[in-house]
Chains A and B, each alone.
Chain A
Amino acid sequence: MKEERGKHRIVVLNVNSEEHSVAVKDGETLLDVLRDKLRLTGTKKGCNLGVCGACTVLVNGQPKNSCLLLAAACEGDEITTIEGVAGEGVLHSLQRAFINHGAIQCGFCTPGMIISALDLIKRNPDPSEDEIKEALSGNLCRCTGYTRIIDAVKSWKKYKKTKEPPSRSYDSEKFLTVGRSLPRVDAADKVTGRAKFAADYYFQNMLYGKILHSPIPHGRIKKIDTSRAENFPGVKLVLTGKDVPDITYGVSPARYDEYILAKEKVRYVGDEVAAVIAVDEETAEGALNLIQVEYEELPAVFNPTEAVQEGAPQLHERYKNNINTHVDHHFGDIEKGFAEADCIREEEFVGNHVYQNPLEPHTSIAYWENDGSTLVLYSSTQVPHYVHYMVARVLDIPLGDIRIIRPTVGGGFGAKAATTPLDLITSIASKKTGRPVKMLYSRKEMFLYGRGRHKQYMKFKIGVKKDGRITAVKSKIYLDGGAYSSFGVITAYYAGSMIPTLYMIPNYRYEGFRIMTNKPACGAMRGHGTPQPRFAFESLLSMIADDLGIDPVEIRLRNAMEANTRTCNDLDVRSCEFKSTLKEVEKKSGWREKYGKLPPGKGIGIGCGGFVSGAGYAIYRGQVQRSLEKKPEAFQKKAIFPHANAIVKVSEDGTAVIPLILAAEIGQGAATVLSQMCAESLGISLSRVRIRMEDSDISPLDLGAYSSRTTLMGGNAVVMACRDVLKKLFATVSEIWGCKPQELEAGENRIFHKRDKSKDMEWAEAARRYFNEHGPLVGTGWYKPPEELGGDYKGAAVGTSPAFSFGSSVCECRVDLETGKVKIERFTDYHDCGTPINPQAVHAQVEGAVVMGSGETIMEEVIYDGKGNTLNPNLHDYLLMTIKDVPEIFSGIVDSYEPEGPYGAKEIGEGATLPVLAAVAHSIANATGVWIKDLPITPEKILKALKNKEEAA
Chain B
Amino acid sequence: MVISDIALHFPKNLSEAIRLLGELEEARVLAGGTDLLIEIKQGLVMVKNLISLKKIKELKGIEKKGNRIRMGALSTLEEVMSDPLINQYIPALADAAASMASFQIRSMATVGGNISSAVPSADLPPTLIAAEATVELHCSDSSREVSLSEFFTGPREMICGKGELLTSVFIPLPPDETGIAFQKFALREASALAVVNVASKLTIKKGKIERALIVLGAVAPTPVLASKASGLLCGNKPSDSLFEKAALTAREEGNPISDIRGSIWHRKELIQVLTRRTLDEALSQVQGKLRRGK
Residues from chain A with Cβ under 8 Å of B34 in the complex: 50, 65, 68
Quick check: B105 and A65 within 8 Å, CB to CB? yes
Contact string, B48-70, partner A, CB cutoff 8 A, digits 1/0? 11101010000000000000000
B38, A5: Cβ atoms under 8 Å? no
Stretch at the interface among B4-12, B136-144, B235-243, B278-286: B4-12
The residue that A1 contacts in the complex, of B4, B23, B102, B191, with Cβ under 8 A, is B23
Q: Is the CB of A943 within 8 A of B190?
A: no
Q: Cβ of B5 and Cβ of A5 under 8 Å apart? A: yes
Q: Chain B nearest CB: distance from A942 CB in Å?
A: 10
B88 in the interface (beta carbon within 8 A) = no
Known: A68-B33, A69-B33, A137-B102. A48 touches B187 (CB 8 A): no
**Set of chain A residues within 8 Å of B187, measured between Cβ atoms:** 859, 879, 938-939
Binds B, one of A321-329, A880-888, A912-920: A880-888
Q: Contacts of B274 on A, CB cut-off 8 Å?
A: 819
Question: Is B188 interfacial (CB-CB < 8 Å)?
Answer: yes
User: Are B266 and A943 in contact, CB atoms less than 8 angstroms apart?
Assistant: yes
Whether the Cβ atoms of A70 and B8 lie closer than 8 Å is yes
| Per-position 1/0 for B161-195, Cβ under 8 A of A | 00000000000000000000000010111111100
Give the docked Cα–Cα distance between A285 and B260 (Å).
29
Q: Binary interface profile of A, 59-103, with partner B (CB < 8 Å = 1, else 0)?
A: 000111100111011000000000000000000000000000000
Q: Please determine whether A27 and B3 come into contact, CB atoms closer than 8 angstroms.
A: yes
- Are A116 and B104 in contact, CB atoms less than 8 angstroms apart? yes
Chain A proximity of B61: nearest CB distance (Å)? 17
Q: CB distance A876 to B104 under 8 Å?
A: no
**CB-based contact A49/B2 at 8 Å:** no
Bound complex: CA of A39 vs CA of B23, how far in Å? 38
Contact across chains for A26 and B50 when beta carbons are under 8 A apart: yes
Closest partner residue, chain A, to B49 (CB atom):
A5
- Contacts A939-B266, A943-B266: A28 and B2 contacting too (C-beta < 8 A)? yes
Nearest Cβ on chain A to B94's Cβ, whole angstroms? 13
Asked whether A134 is an interface residue with its Cβ less than 8 Å from the other chain, the reply is yes
Asked whether any CB of chain A lies closer than 8 Å to the CB of B85, the reply is no
Q: Are B2 and A25 in contact (CB under 8 A)?
A: yes
Interface string of A883-898 (1 = CB under 8 A from B): 1110000000000000
With a cutoff of 8 Å between Cβ atoms, the chain A residues found around residue B105 in the complex are 50, 65, 68, 138
Which DSSP category, helix, strand, loop or mixed, fits chain A's interface? loop
Q: In the complex the two chains form, what is the Cα distance from A871 to B260 in whole Å?
A: 8
Contacts of A285 in B (CB 8 A): 1
Q: Which residue of A lies closest to B19 (CB)?
A: A1
Query: B185 contacts A27, CB within 8 Å?
Result: no
For residue A26, which residues in chain B have a CB less than 8 angstroms away from its CB? 6-8, 50
A738 interfacial contact with B, CB 8 Å: no
Are A63's CB and B5's CB within 8 A? no
Distance A430 CA – B266 CA, assembled complex (angstroms): 53
CB proximity of B223 to chain A, nearest CB, Å: 20
In the bound complex, CA of A49 to CA of B37 (Å): 8
Determine if B1 and A282 form an interchain contact, defined as CB atoms under 8 angstroms apart: yes
Q: Are B23 and A53 in contact (CB under 8 A)?
A: no
Q: Using A26-B6, A50-B38, A138-B105 as known contacts, say yes or no to A5 and B48 having CB atoms under 8 A apart.
A: yes
Known interface pairs A6-B4, A69-B33. Does A885 touch B107 (Cβ–Cβ under 8 Å)? no
CA of A883 to CA of B104, assembled, Å: 14
A134 to B32, CA, bound (A): 20
Rounded to whole angstroms, the CA-CA distance of A818 and B270 in the bound complex is: 8
Q: Is A252 an interface residue (CB 8 A)?
A: no
Task: Evaluate contact between A63 and B107: CB separation under 8 angstroms.
Answer: yes
For the complex formed, measure the closest distance between the CB of B21 and the CB atoms of chain A, giving whole angstroms: 12
Q: Which of A266-285 contact B (CB under 8 A)?
A: 280-282, 285
Is B289 at the interface (CB under 8 A from chain A)? no
Does A734 touch B at the CB level, under 8 Å? no
Interface assignment of B248: CB less than 8 Å from any CB of chain A: no
Instruction: Please pick, from A4, A49, A820, the residue contacting B7 in the complex, using a CB distance under 8 A.
Output: A4
Instruction: Contacts A70-B30, A882-B188 given; indicate if A27 touches B5 (C-beta within 8 A).
Output: yes
A26-B8, A27-B3, A72-B8 known; A56+B104 contact, CB < 8 A: yes
Contact of A137 with B8 in the complex, beta carbons under 8 Å: no
Is the interface on chain B under 10, 10 to 19, 20 to 34, or 35 or more residues? 35 or more
Q: In the docked arrangement, what's the CA distance between A926 and B153, Å?
A: 45
Cβ-based interface call for A442 (8 A) = yes
> By the criterion CB–CB under 8 Å, are A27 and B6 in contact?
yes
> Nearest chain A CB to B98's CB is how many angstroms away?
8
Partner of A53, one of B1, B5, B102: B102
Chain A residue nearest in CB terms to B195: A939
Expressed in whole angstroms, the minimum distance between the Cβ of B80 and any Cβ of chain A is 15
1/0 per residue, CB under 8 A from B, across A819-854: the answer is: 111000000000000000000000000000000000
- Say yes or no for B263: interface residue by CB 8 A criterion: yes
Given contacts A32-B1, A116-B103, A940-B263, contact A68 B37 (CB under 8 A): yes
Give the residues in chain B near A821, CB-CB below 8 Å: 185
Report the bound CA distance from A69 to B54 in whole Å: 12
The yes or no answer to B24 lying at the interface (CB within 8 A) is: yes
A862 vs B263: C-alpha distance in the bound complex, in angstroms?
A: 17
B17 to chain A, nearest CB (A): 13
Which residues from A are CB-within-8-Å of B10? 73
Contacts of A882 in B (CB 8 A): 102, 188-191
Known contacts A32-B2, A48-B41, A884-B190: does B8 contact A940 (CB below 8 Å)?
no
Pick from B1, B193, B273: contact of A818, CB under 8 Å: B273
Assess whether B6 is in contact with A943, with CB atoms less than 8 Å apart.
no
B185 A281 Cβ-Cβ under 8 A: no
- Distance in Å: Cβ of B26 to nearest Cβ of chain A: 10
Which residues of chain B come closer than 8 Å to A69, judged between CB atoms? 33, 108
Interface string of A12-48 (1 = CB under 8 A from B): 0000000000000111110010000000000000001
B252 within 8 A of partner (CB): no
Considering the complex, give the chain B residue whose CB is closest to the CB of A872. Answer: B260
Residue B132 at the A interface, CB < 8 A? no
In the complex where A26-B50, A63-B104, A872-B260 touch, is A137 in contact with B191 (Cβ < 8 A)?
yes
Is B83 at the interface (CB under 8 A from chain A)? no
Q: Please give, as numbers and ranges, the residues of chain A lying within 8 Å of B3 by CB-CB distance.
A: 27-29, 70
The listed residue with most A CB atoms (<10 A of its CB), out of B5, B10, B50, B274, is: B5
B92-119 contacts to A (CB < 8 Å): 101-105, 107-108
State the CA gap A72–B34 with chains docked (Å).
16
Question: Which of A28, A68, A280 has the most C-beta atoms of chain B within 10 angstroms of its own C-beta?
Answer: A68
Q: What residues of A have a CB within 8 angstroms of the CB of B270 in the complex? A: 819
Residue A182 is within 8 A (CB to CB) of chain B in the complex:
no
Q: Which of B4, B32, B188, B273 contacts A27 (CB 8 A)?
A: B4
B103 touches A136 (CB 8 A): yes
B269 within 8 A of A: yes
Contact among B1, B102, B263 for A138, CB-based, below 8 A = B102
Q: Given A49-B42, A940-B263, are A138 and B190 neighbors across the interface (CB < 8 Å)?
A: yes
**A863 close to chain B: CB less than 8 A:** yes
* A135 CB–B CB distance under 8 Å: yes
Residues of A within 8 A of B103 (CB): 63, 116, 134-138
Which residues of chain B come closer than 8 Å to A70, judged between CB atoms? 3, 8, 30, 33, 37, 50, 52
B residues near A820, Cβ cutoff 8 Å: 266
* B residues in contact with A73, CB < 8 Å: 8, 10, 30, 52, 54
When the two chains form their complex, are residues B191 and A819 in contact, meaning their CB atoms are under 8 A apart?
no
Q: Do B38 and A49 touch across chains, with their CB atoms under 8 A apart?
A: yes
Per-residue B-contact encoding for A130-163, CB less than 8 Å = 1, 0 else: 0000111111000000000000000000000000
Q: Which 5 A-B pairs have the closest CB atoms?
A: A138-B102, A27-B3, A884-B189, A137-B190, A26-B8
A sample of 9 more A-B contacts (CB under 8 A), given A53-B104, A68-B33, is: A6-B4, A26-B6, A53-B102, A64-B104, A68-B108, A70-B33, A135-B103, A859-B188, A938-B187
**Which residues in A have some Cβ–Cβ distance to B below 8 Å?**
1, 3-7, 25-29, 32, 48-51, 53, 56, 62-65, 68-70, 72-73, 116, 134-139, 280-282, 285-286, 442, 818-821, 859, 863, 871-872, 875-877, 879, 881-885, 938-940, 943-944
Q: List 11 A-B contacts (CB under 8 A).
A: A6-B6, A29-B37, A50-B105, A62-B107, A68-B33, A73-B10, A138-B101, A281-B1, A281-B2, A859-B188, A884-B190
